[in-house]
Structure 1
Amino acid sequence: MTGEESQPVPQGRRCFVSNLAWRTSWQDLKDHFKSSGNVVFANVMQDTSGRSKGWGIVEFETAEQAADACATKNGSRVDGRILMVREDREDRDVKRGNNSASHRAGESSGMQVVVHGIPWSFDDQQLMAIFTDRIPSTQIESAEVVYGRDSRSRGYGTVKFLSSEDAQLAIQECDGLELQGRLLSVKLDQWG
């Protein structure tokens, strides 16, 4: 029996992880989950002040690895807290339906970009505004600045658009843009 026959509902590659300790970082999540498979992305969500929201996302190379993580890591402990782990219900690969079959690990969906060179003081809203201010017609699903253990920006992040056309336009308009003395690099995200 193949995996498709045993799973009539598409399984995503992302896990939603909640009940995180305030001090738990994305690196802690990645380290904890790597025994389930190849972690291609991990993030702990933070508010505008840089404080953890107590939840995060872990994305794996395959849906099978994500399913294993949901089964084996739910109830495990990190930084003294018992984690609650489930499939990410917002996983856009699953929500897209047919597109998820053609989106394999290491292939870009064409709708997410990685932005390097973000000014250090920028938060998620300011990252989004880089694109919406210059291209008012663009539609963005989300924008996330990556923060380190010290709650400081790492100077890069991801922006998810609602269409590949918007992502391409963002690359054309904003790659090489200078903001606050930093040069932006905007490229398609090979994992997004």
Structure 2
Amino acid sequence: MKQQYTHPRRRQAGFTFPEVFLSMVVLTAMLMLVGAMVPLMVRSVRYASDFNQAQSLAMHKVAQLQEAGYENIEGIRLNQNALDIIDGTNNAPQDNVNGDKSATLEFTVTDNVWRYFPGGTTSSGAQDTGNPTRPRGYIFISPYTPSALTSGGVTRYNLIQATVVVQWWGWGSRNQMHNYSTTALLSRTPVE
């Protein structure tokens, strides 16, 4: 039989305890960093989703206003002829022939804004009307003053400015309101 010779100073293959311990410390630290980032990523994704939803709602409302046209930016007409653009006519100007009236209109119920964001519904899925931080949608209309024309003592505006705002309360900080707004100019004469 042949005997194998082992060199007395040669180490056996493997890792020493300090090497294993150090690698475990590094691995644990990395896992803790990743674990701390996950909630931030989830919150960012939720905010981006809410922001995109708000943008979509606002752009849809602008398209409805543009389709209704300048002559229909009156309280009675915004809910007639199947327009259903606002929640009611209480705050809407009843006669805006000259485009000189300003108003704040709400479309929270008409477009079910409360369904798209956190805090808008009760546990049964109904609108939470008792929640002061429930999501809302507003339209602010006003005359666009650079378009004013005065003739015979009557000032008429060729453009009405409509600003659509969607408000919701955020996930990151429940006490922080977020909003998305966009503004459109509605022309008295069609633009071709």
TM-score range, shorter chain: under 0.3
Higher strand share goes to which structure? 1
Larger of the two Rg values belongs to structure: 2
Higher helix share goes to which structure? 2
Q: TM-score, normalised by structure 1?
A: 0.22
Q: TM-score, normalised by structure 2?
A: 0.22
